[in-house]
């Protein structure tokens, strides 16, 4: 399946929902009046773009329509697309892999899709010829490391693990040593996301961060926050908490295939000012796509 087809399939539920509202809005377009703006705002909120972001986008659209003297449905639609794309362009969309090894720390609450995303990402990087090492720093359950190993086997990546309950930072320490010995290009660190125990989580992530800074002082580093798109605005609340705890450099939004509320992508980028770097559109190994604001918005509207 091609890139566009995959995005289409992943966004089909969102598209269906939005074409009812937004598509209908532009199809029955009778000019830009108050009713139009109200209905537009309403359908954006329904798609989980979020109240604040929807209001902001509609406000910007009003200004654009006025200053450019737009009248036709198509012109207004294009202007709306431009506004949403701009909201999504909030930083570097690519991973920073400039050093050998580079480190990608993957964080987020339980069940959002961290381990699955790591498996998919490892597969992509391995296919690009990079040597990937997966670090099982979610030591909370033994099954977590088993799951990571299964994914590693699928793509030919290496894994480093310890026993259940081990200190996550010490697994990271081992992984860095192994990466040096084996000449790995990228270390991807899986973590346990126990947000309900915030002090503990802060401690854990802080300690991991210090080990990385000490052992690999100038390494290229990404902190990817994984969010489940089906949790909607709740995900946004989690994201704010994690942003406070860790220096998040990118968002991965998973399970877009399972929701009609894909607009959450826009809400997250706009509210956090952190770029969405990848989207998950299924459970398979190929179901992770680099995020492209243009393609996403054109598919949505």
Ligand X SMILES: Nc1nc2c(ncn2[C@@H]2O[C@H](COP(=O)(O)OP(=O)(O)O)[C@@H](O)[C@H]2O)c(=O)[nH]1
Chain residues binding ligand X by CB under 6 A are: 108, 110-116, 254-255, 257-258, 280-283, 287
Rank residues 15 and 120 by Cβ distance to Mg ion and give the closer one. Answer: 120
CB of 141 to Mg ion, least distance (A): 9
The H-assigned helical ranges of 139-222 are: 142-155, 168-182, 198-215
Q: Are the C-beta atoms of residues 106 and 118 closer than 8 Å to each other?
A: yes
Report the residue number whose CB is nearest to Mg ion: 115
Rank residues 179 and 253 by Cβ distance to ligand X and give the closer one. Answer: 253
Neighbour tally for 135: CB within 10 Å: 32
Rank residues 41 and 190 by Cβ distance to ligand X and give the closer one. Answer: 190
CB of 220 to ligand X, least distance (A): 23
CB of 285 to Mg ion, least distance (A): 16
Rank residues 81 and 194 by Cβ distance to Mg ion and give the closer one. Answer: 194
What, of Mg ion, ligand X, none, does residue 257 touch, CB below 5 to 8 Å by kind?
A: ligand X
**3-state class (DSSP) for residue 75:** helix
**3-state class (DSSP) for residue 249:** coil
What, of Mg ion, ligand X, none, does residue 222 touch, CB below 5 to 8 Å by kind?
A: none
**3-state class (DSSP) for residue 236:** helix
CB of 156 to ligand X, least distance (A): 19
What, of ligand X, Mg ion, none, does residue 287 touch, CB below 5 to 8 Å by kind?
A: ligand X
Phi-psi region of 232 (alpha: psi -120 to 50; beta: other; left: phi over 0): left
CA 9 to CA 291: how far, in whole Å? 15
CA 250 to chain centre: 7
CA 297 to CA 84: how far, in whole Å? 7
What, of ligand X, Mg ion, none, does residue 250 touch, CB below 5 to 8 Å by kind?
A: none
Strand partners, 225: 107, 251
What, of Mg ion, ligand X, none, does residue 282 touch, CB below 5 to 8 Å by kind?
A: ligand X
Rank residues 45 and 112 by Cβ distance to ligand X and give the closer one. Answer: 112
- Residue by residue, DSSP assigns 268-298 as HHHHH---EEEEE-SSSTT-EEE--HHHHHH
Q: Are the C-beta atoms of residues 178 and 145 closer than 8 Å to each other?
A: no
Residues near Mg ion (CB under 5 A): 114-115, 144
What, of ligand X, Mg ion, none, does residue 280 touch, CB below 5 to 8 Å by kind?
A: ligand X
CB of 194 to Mg ion, least distance (A): 12
CB of 157 to Mg ion, least distance (A): 15
**3-state class (DSSP) for residue 49:** coil
Rank residues 108 and 168 by Cβ distance to ligand X and give the closer one. Answer: 108
């Amino acid at each position: 399946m091609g890139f566009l087809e995959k995005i289409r399939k992943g966004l089909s539920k969102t598209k269906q929902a939005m074409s009812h509202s937004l598509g209908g809005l532009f199809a029955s377009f009778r000019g830009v009046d108050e009713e139009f703006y109200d209905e537009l705002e309403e359908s954006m909120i329904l798609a989980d773009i979020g109240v604040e972001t929807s209001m902001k986008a509609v406000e910007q659209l009003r200004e654009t329509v006025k200053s450019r003297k737009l009248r036709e449905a198509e012109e207004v639609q294009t202007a709306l697309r431009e506004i949403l794309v701009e909201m999504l362009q909030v930083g570097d969309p690519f991973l920073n892999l400039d050093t050998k090894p580079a480190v990608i720390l993957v964080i987020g609450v339980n069940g959002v899709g961290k381990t699955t995303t790591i498996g998919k990402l490892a597969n992509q990087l391995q296919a690009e010829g990079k040597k990937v090492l997966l670090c099982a720093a979610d030591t909370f359950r033994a099954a977590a490391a088993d799951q990571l190993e299964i994914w590693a086997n699928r793509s030919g990546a290496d894994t480093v693990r310890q026993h259940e309950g081990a200190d996550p930072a010490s697994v990271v320490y081992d992984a860095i040593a192994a990466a040096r010995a084996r000449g790995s290009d990228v270390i991807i660190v899986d973590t346990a996301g126990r947000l309900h125990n915030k002090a503990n989580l802060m401690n854990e992530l802080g300690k991991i961060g210090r080990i990385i800074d000490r052992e690999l002082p100038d390494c290229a580093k990404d902190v990817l926050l994984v969010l489940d798109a089906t949790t909607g605005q709740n995900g946004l609340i989690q994201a704010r908490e994690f942003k406070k705890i860790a220096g998040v450099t990118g968002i991965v939004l998973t399970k877009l295939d399972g929701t009609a509320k894909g607009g959450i992508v826009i809400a997250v980028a706009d509210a956090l000012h952190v770029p969405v770097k990848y989207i998950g559109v299924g459970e398979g190994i190929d179901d992770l796509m680099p995020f492209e604001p243009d393609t996403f918005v054109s598919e949505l509207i």
